[in-house]
Amino acid sequence: MSENEKTTQDLFGYRLIRDELIPDLLGSHTKDILYWAGKKLARSYECKNEGEIISFFDRAEWGDLSIVKQKGEEIHFELSGNVVMERIHHHDPVFTLEAGFIAEQIAMIKQYQTEAVYTRNKKNFVEIELKWDQKDPYILPSRKTGQNK
């Protein structure tokens, strides 16, 4: 079995869940729900800097993340690798989970509200662009305690 065939086989279960089952269950709300789910995951797995975000992507097997541009109040990441290529070639995947995760991590690091958008490049990678506004401080969302107030 070639390395490429092994990678495809290893990713089959992941692709089934991420690119078939979840969109079927969530329908037209898939992108929005996954974006907010990514933000929630970021609060559970807080990273102290961009390097830790990149390491998290590696551990989570979400792809190879790198910073391609950083200027002023924005930062551009590139998400690539076998996982990303396989997902792009077999489906019409959304990457809002990853975008939401990075947006919340950057918000916690910079302490400004941050939003992210992604675009799929024809060269088998995804660019995730983040912007923040230094006039809009980050406020950690409150957790519901289950108590009536």
Please give the average per-residue pLDDT across 127-147, as a whole number.
Answer: 83
Q: What percent of the chain lies above the pLDDT cut of 70?
A: 89
In this prediction, residue 123 has a pLDDT band, given cuts at 50, 70 and 90, of: confident
Ranges of each domain in the chain = 3-137
Q: Is the pLDDT of residue 10 over 90?
A: no
Pinpoint the alpha helices (H) of the chain: 3-15, 22-26, 30-44, 50-60, 82-90, 96-110
Arithmetic mean of pLDDT, 77-94: 91
- Mean pLDDT within 44-52: 98
Residue 40 has pLDDT above 90, yes or no: yes
* CATH fold of 3-137: Muramoyl-pentapeptide Carboxypeptidase; domain 2 (3.30.1380)
